[in-house]
Amino acid sequence: MKISASIQAANQLTLLSDINEHSNKFDQLHIDITDGHFTDNIGLSLDIVKQIKTETDYFLDVHLMVDKNPKFVEKVYDNGADLITVHCESSPIDEFEILSNNYKNIGIGILPTTNINSLIPYLEFASAVLLLTVNPGFSNQSKAVDLLQRIEELNHIQTNENILTLVDGGVSNDDLTLLKENGVDIAVQGGAIFG
């Protein structure tokens, strides 16, 4: 299992040095981009993806919590993202199918309050599934759902071993063994890495 460091939890004024200071704690970087519509806040700029890609060698998984997915996906891939996850709540299945045909690493995310069965039509087109376990947009929250139950729900409907499973939101160091034992491929950590 890989650890993806959510840079939203890092010090934005000294971002690159904060990433370098904690580099022994993670394998790749996770970048949340929000638009103020899908979530209540406005997150990191699209330009941050280009900056991080230019200044580091990390694999970048970008989590889009936005309403206009096709527009943002194109720009974020152009800026250097390696994996992009959009949400089933903001991306109709026909739109997601087109995205998956145009881009090789597209994942589908789901909010903690959305029924897991909503993912079923997306799974044949997805490279990854992101289980968001907190309400979106802010760092250092406690989980809004039972972590193990949510993973078990996903494992019940998802049988393709080629699809990566990401868990994002309130993941502590104590959770890591449980996640690994239950087939999670990437654990996203913010506060647990950057404080």
Q: Percent of the chain, pLDDT > 90?
A: 78
Q: Is 78 a catalytic residue?
A: no
- Active-site residue, selected from the candidate residues 61, 82, 94, 168: 168
Neighbouring-strand partners of residue 87: 109
Q: Is 185 a catalytic residue?
A: no
State the Cα–Cα distance between residues 157 and 48, nearest whole angstrom.
Answer: 35
C-alpha Rg value of the chain to the nearest Å: 15
Decide if 5 contacts 30 (C-beta within 8 A): yes
Query: What does the pLDDT average to over 129-135?
Result: 89
Decide if 28 contacts 61 (C-beta within 8 A): yes
Tell me whether residue 190 is exposed, middle or buried, using C-beta atoms within 10 angstroms of its C-beta: 0 to 12, 13 to 18, 19 or more: buried
pLDDT for 147 equals: 84
pLDDT for 90 equals: 95
pLDDT for 141 equals: 55
pLDDT band at 195 (very low <50, low <70, confident <90, very high): confident
Non-local (6+) Cβ contacts of 68 within 8 A are 35
Decide if 26 contacts 171 (C-beta within 8 A): no
Please tell me the pTM assigned to this model: 0.92
pLDDT for 115 equals: 96
Residue 111 maps to which CATH number?
3.20.20.70
End-to-end Cα distance, the chain = 21
Q: Percent of the chain, pLDDT > 70?
A: 92
Higher pLDDT, 95 or 41: 95
State the Cα–Cα distance between residues 73 and 83, nearest whole angstrom.
Answer: 10
Closest CA to 88 of 66, 116, 117, 108: 108
Domain encompassing residue 133: 2-194
Q: Within the chain, what is the greatest distance between any pair of CA atoms?
A: 42
To the nearest whole number, what is the mean pLDDT of the chain? 91
Decide if 90 contacts 67 (C-beta within 8 A): yes
**Could you give the dihedral angle defined by the CA atoms of residues 11, 17, 23 and 27, in that order, rounded to the nearest 10 degrees?**
70
pLDDT for 140 equals: 54
How many domains does the chain fold into? 1
Per-residue b or e along 56-65, where b marks 16 or more CB atoms closer than 10 Å to that residue's CB: eebbbbbbbb
DSSP-derived 3-state class of residue 20:
helix
